[in-house]
Amino acid sequence: TAPDASKLAITEVYDDVNTAGVIASGEETDDNRPLIKGTGAEAGNTITVYSGDKVIGTATVQADGTWSLEPTTPLPDGRYTLTAKETDGVGNVSGPSAEYVINVATVPPQAPTLDTVYDDVAPHADYLQKGDVTNDTTPTLSGSSGVAGGTISIYDNGHLIGTTTVGSNGSWSFTPDTALA
């Protein structure tokens, strides 16, 4: 009989590069060989971790029912939907565990560009050029070169004034909630 898949789980993924810590499912990591931990049905059984149908690595279930592994080879940047399967000593294989999703991002994103600043206050409502003076204390900033779904942080003289999310086309826009000095 195949091992009981209900006892099989990927319980956490641990990043030990730069900012170390547990990566919750769906989060991003800069560690391309994170430590993957879990539980299994029976000590001595073999755990195989997959991303899709590609084997990421294998481990042995310990006496306490836990296992851990680092990917055999570094994971290229991208999204990984991890599952585990357990194989007993005679070759019976369990069904897959629940999915655990990680996003590997070892290459920092390209710096975003500030393409336009728009003054929408009369009498000179228009796009501003570098060095222009405006009477709009909350101009709209727009840019590109962001990573879809990423966060753009907006600073005024070194002070964070807000954030915005990059759209699916790589563009972003931000209008301050409070007046700029």
- What is the percent of the chain where pLDDT is above 70? 100
pLDDT tens, position by position, 44-60:
999 999 999 999 999 99
Cα 91 from chain centre: 35
How far is the CA of 131 from the CAs of 22, 141, 176, 181, in angstroms? 45, 15, 19, 15
Question: What number is the average pLDDT over the span 16-43?
Answer: 93
Out of 2.60.40.10, 3.10.20.30, 3.40.50.300, 3.40.50.10540, which CATH number does the structure's domain 5-104 have?
Answer: 2.60.40.10
Question: Confidence class of residue 150 from pLDDT cuts 50, 70 and 90?
Answer: confident
The full set of domain ranges for the chain reads: 5-104, 113-174
Distances 4 to 1, 17, 117, 163 between C-alpha atoms, Å: 9, 34, 59, 46
Mean pLDDT (the chain) is: 93
CA R_g for the chain: 24
- The residue that leads in pLDDT, 146 or 45, is 45
What's the pTM? 0.66
pLDDT tens sequence across 17-26: 988 899 999 9
181 pLDDT more than 80: no
Per-residue confidence (pLDDT) for residue 161, from 0 to 100: 93
pLDDT at position 111 is 83
- State pLDDT tens for residues 70-88: 999 999 999 999 999 999 9
| Predicted local confidence at residue 54, as pLDDT | 96
Please compute the mean of the pLDDT values over residues 164-176 and round it to a whole number. Answer: 93
pLDDT of 43 higher than 80: yes
Q: Any idea which residue has 């000095």 for tokens?
A: 181
